[in-house]
Amino acid sequence: MRILTERMLSRGAGAMTDEELLCLLLCDGDSDVRAIAAGLLAECGGSLAGVAAHEVSRLRMIAGLGLRRAVRLKVAAEIGRRVAAERSREVVDISSSDDVERLMRPLVDTLPYEECWVLYLTSSNRVIERMRVSQGGVQATVVDHRLIVKRALELLATQIILVHNHPSGAAEPSVQDRQLTQRAAEACRLFDITLLDHIIIARNNASYSFRSHSLL
């Protein structure tokens, strides 16, 4: 571990591999920490996002991790999530789907269940508010498009963007996702509100934009 520590101090944490970062975080003086880190990544889809998505009860059983290390991992993941969420608030104007991802991915990327959010925008694409409108299970969430429009009218928003996550990891929209998009677009049109996009965020930086696929 001394070699890894020296490497981090000389090159910075950004130069470390995922496995090396886990080794430093999990090190308790055990000689098998590399094997634990490698096993943990393998069990969690090969990514740190996969590790962060697991609950402590599951993590502690993986690769001999144990409760203390599992708790340490969840604390580190939550710190990282909160830092990313704070930085995402710096995005105040939306000019592309990339801006939406920077704003919303920190909030939903590692959730084990689906959440649907709405970004309410001015006519100049400035964010007025971002609001969670539903929380569901692993496969789906129920969204009331009437509540979405009601809030837009309260905020005098002229444009909205729907955002939800897919914990399964696949960004491709389901039949329910397509139906929600159609209902929301139709409801918005009744009040001269534009549904700019519906973006699905999945793990490993995968995403799906309805507008870029000419579905809006």
Same domain flag for 55 and 113: no
pLDDT score recorded for residue 122: 93
Residue 214 lies in a domain: no
Same domain flag for 46 and 18: yes
pLDDT score recorded for residue 30: 57
pLDDT score recorded for residue 137: 58
Residue 196 lies in a domain: yes
Q: Among the three residues 61, 85, 109, which one is the final residue of a domain in this structure? A: 85
Q: Please write the tens of the pLDDT for every residue from 16-33.
A: 888 888 888 888 765 578
The whole-number average pLDDT for the span 9-14 is: 82
Bridge partner list, 129: 120
On the question of pLDDT at 119 being above 80, the answer is yes
Query: pTM higher than 0.95, yes or no?
Result: no
CA 24 – CA 5 distance, rounded (Å)? 7
Provide the number of structural domains found in the chain: 2
Q: Please write the tens of the pLDDT for every residue from 89-102.
A: 666 788 888 899 98
On the question of pLDDT at 139 being above 80, the answer is no
Q: Using pLDDT thresholds of 50, 70 and 90, give the confidence band for residue 39.
A: confident
pLDDT score recorded for residue 14: 82
Q: Give, in order, the Cα–Cα distances in Å from 178 to each of 21, 146, 216.
A: 39, 17, 10
Query: The domain containing residue 16 runs over which residues?
Result: 2-85
Contact 207, 171 (CB under 8 A): yes
The sign of the dihedral angle between the CA atoms of 14, 205, 117, 195 is positive
Same domain flag for 47 and 103: no
Q: What is the CATH number of the domain that holds 110?
A: 3.40.140.10
pLDDT score recorded for residue 18: 86
Same domain flag for 118 and 204: yes
